[in-house]
Amino acid sequence: MLFNSYIFVFIFFPLCLLGYYGLLHGQRPQAAKLFLTFMSFWFYGYFNLSYLLIMVGSIAFNYIFHLLLSKKPDKKLIFLAVAGNLGILFYFKYFDFFLSTVNTVFQSSFALRGILLPLGISFFTFQQISFVVDTYRGEVQNCSLIDYALFVSFFPQLIAGPIVNHGEMLPQFRKAGQDEVRWEQIAEGFGLFILGMAKKVLIADTFGAGADYGYDNIAFLGRMDAVLVIVFYALQLYFDFSGYCDMARGIGKMLGIEIPVNFDSPYKATNIVEFWKRWHITLNRFFTKYVYIPLGGNRKGAARMYLNLMIVFLLSGLWHGAGWNYLVWGAMHGVLYVVTRFWQRMIGGRGALQKQCGRRDSKEENAGNDSSVINNIVERTSLGCRIRASIMTLLSQVLLFAYVSIAWVYFRAQDIAQANSLLAAAIKGNLQKISLDLAECFRLDEFWYVIKILHLDNMAYSRYILMAGILAAGLYLSMAGPNAAQRMERSRFRAGSVFVLAVLMVWSILSFSGVSTFLYFNF
């Protein structure tokens, strides 16, 4: 079931809210949690009943190990638990990739199984691995089956994250019904849900149309077409993933549950280290705690730290998909991350510009006690540094966005060859006018009607007006504007904000028939 669907908005979630709060109001918290678990099962099983059976089996498997490890934290048991989870994930997600690789290397002819990938299996598998490992470490207290089943299956974060941990979710489930209903939290959640829905339905899918056209017609793309397609996908993925995260957090808030932030304006980052503190935050947290630190982290010298970082990024690439192109994507991020960390260590975490701005120049030192002279010099120095710092920040942000967008090509492409073809078109393609067919992907009826009213449709470049406007809006919202959470904090539900939210909600719902699934459903 999609968040951006009629059945979810008009049937599923209203029933969920009424049933959950009705049971809590009747002082039946255990029944309320059981009801929420049942609704989560319905949400997941709606896609495919076999998915639900796999998830329920996974919950039972891990809960048994939780009980065993709670009594005796045995190394053999934790090995079996982790190996079992990874084995299930390997079979469903990587077995065909493994067979195809064997066939390529050894010229064999093993038949691929065509295994259907259960939605969200990477997310709920990693979530349960962290749970059983923390049980082994003694970090998890006794957990009831109802709480555990809800912890794993809680529908807002089940399909595409975040990868939550027990410490931030189980205490909230256990407190269900103990606190009074916070209407302000529900209203904020509703606003977040609408903004996330608008990101997905109105923005992400619009850029997605341009990206899909480009990847389907690489052979016919000119140089500018290819560059635009690369940018379109970077923006599609941003608004798709951040839209899902906003909707998930909004649903959680409406149910009185705080879901951790998983997405914090990553395209505002000025280096790759900062980017990974903002993009898929909980996946980064998982790999740091359960892979990077156990490998030694930064405790065994710089060379070992850089190796550990590369291992983490290669595993991150493999986690996202079974294909060599995902490994290339992970390697590209890993290499830049290692280079950035090396540079930060070399300069001690401070940029040359900051050091320069932090020093008093000789004129200031020789100015004596004349306060007016000192103030003028400091003001000029401060202004100059601020201007240079702003320029360097903007340049760093743009260069990082360009690098990340190029890496996304391998993330989006079917294989390495297709990715290389698109990048070759962007570098060596013909310098021709932007494809009219590409521009037509942005011809939204609601905006095109306005263009016709203003009699702009007869202009030579009228077909490109919408594409340029939507692209500019997308770049501003992702790289400079406040994100959805910040907008909700500022809105305070004034009349203007409520009107905008109402318009976005109606507009999004009317656009449901043309939307696609969330991109991260594939991972």
Least confident of 120-134, 413-427, 484-498: 484-498
Q: Are residues 86 and 120 located together in one domain of the fold?
A: yes
Share of the chain above pLDDT 70, in %: 91
Question: How far is 289 from 298, CA to CA, in rounded Å?
Answer: 13
- 7-10: long-range pairs with CB below 8 Å, 24+: 7/46, 9/509
Structure confidence at residue 269 (pLDDT): 95
Q: Are residues 44 and 175 located together in one domain of the fold?
A: yes
Q: Is residue 474 part of a domain?
A: yes
Residue 465: pLDDT band with limits 50, 70, 90:
confident
Question: How far is 157 from 174, CA to CA, in rounded Å?
Answer: 18
Q: Are residues 299 and 396 located together in one domain of the fold?
A: yes
Count CA atoms closer than 13 A to 477's CA, side-chain side: 22
Q: Are residues 294 and 368 located together in one domain of the fold?
A: yes
Q: Are residues 199 and 320 located together in one domain of the fold?
A: no
Residue 443: pLDDT band with limits 50, 70, 90:
confident
Return all residues near 249 (Cβ < 8 A) that are at least 6 apart: 156, 189, 192, 196, 258, 259, 261, 485
Q: Count the Cβ atoms, other than its own, within 10 Å of residue 189.
A: 24
- For the question of residue 333 being annotated catalytic, the response is no
Q: Is residue 389 part of a domain?
A: yes
Structure confidence at residue 380 (pLDDT): 54
Q: Is residue 277 part of a domain?
A: no
Q: Are residues 23 and 162 located together in one domain of the fold?
A: yes
Count of domains in the chain? 3
Q: Is residue 331 part of a domain?
A: yes
Question: How far is 428 from 225, CA to CA, in rounded Å?
Answer: 12
Q: Is residue 338 part of a domain?
A: yes
Contact of 241 with 263, CB cutoff 8 Å: yes
Question: How far is 214 from 220, CA to CA, in rounded Å?
Answer: 9
Which among 361, 384, 415 is the end of a domain? 415
Residue 384: pLDDT band with limits 50, 70, 90:
confident
Domain residue limits at 374? 290-415
Q: Is residue 270 part of a domain?
A: no
Q: Count the Cβ atoms, other than its own, within 10 Å of residue 150.
A: 23
Q: Are residues 215 and 76 located together in one domain of the fold?
A: no
Structure confidence at residue 361 (pLDDT): 43
Q: Are residues 238 and 299 located together in one domain of the fold?
A: no
What does the chain come to in residues?
523
Contact of 252 with 189, CB cutoff 8 Å: yes
Q: Is residue 285 part of a domain?
A: no
| Tokens (6 digits) for 199 | 């990101």
Which among 166, 181, 196 is the end of a domain? 181
Question: How far is 351 from 355, CA to CA, in rounded Å?
Answer: 6
Question: How far is 313 from 284, CA to CA, in rounded Å?
Answer: 9
Cis peptide preceding 294, ω within 30 of 0: no
Return all residues near 312 (Cβ < 8 A) that are at least 6 apart: 287, 288, 291, 292, 334
- Give the three-state DSSP class for 263: strand
What's the pTM value of the predicted model, to 2 decimals? Answer: 0.88
Q: Are residues 313 and 439 located together in one domain of the fold?
A: no
Structure confidence at residue 511 (pLDDT): 85
Q: Are residues 392 and 427 located together in one domain of the fold?
A: no
| Tokens (6 digits) for 300 | 């065994």
316 to 146, 152, 221, 385: CA distances (angstroms): 31, 21, 31, 38
Return all residues near 318 (Cβ < 8 A) that are at least 6 apart: 94, 326, 327, 330
| 482-498 average pLDDT score | 82
Packing angle of the helix pair 223-254, 465-479 (nearest 10 deg): 50
| Tokens (6 digits) for 110 | 């093993």
Please name which of 332, 301, 296 lies closest in space to residue 314, comparing C-alpha atoms. 332
If phi over 0 gives left and psi between -120 and 50 gives alpha, with beta otherwise, what is residue 41?
alpha
Convert the pLDDT of each residue in 322-369 to its tens digit: 899 999 999 999 999 999 999 988 887 444 444 445 544 444 444 445
Residue 520's identity, in one-letter code, is: Y
191 to 195, 197, 281, 485: CA distances (angstroms): 6, 10, 22, 9
Convert the pLDDT of each residue in 97-115 to its tens digit: 999 999 988 888 888 888 8
- Give the three-state DSSP class for 157: helix
Which among 388, 415, 442 is the end of a domain? 415
Least confident of 34-43, 313-322, 354-363, 395-404: 354-363
Residue 372: pLDDT band with limits 50, 70, 90:
low
Q: Are residues 56 and 164 located together in one domain of the fold?
A: yes
Q: Are residues 206 and 144 located together in one domain of the fold?
A: no
Question: How far is 255 from 279, CA to CA, in rounded Å?
Answer: 25
Packing angle of the helix pair 145-153, 29-45 (nearest 10 deg): 40
Q: Is residue 11 part of a domain?
A: yes
Residue 390: pLDDT band with limits 50, 70, 90:
confident
With 90 as the cut, is the pLDDT of residue 452 above it?
Answer: no
Of the candidates 66, 320, 333, 455, the residue annotated as catalytic is: 320
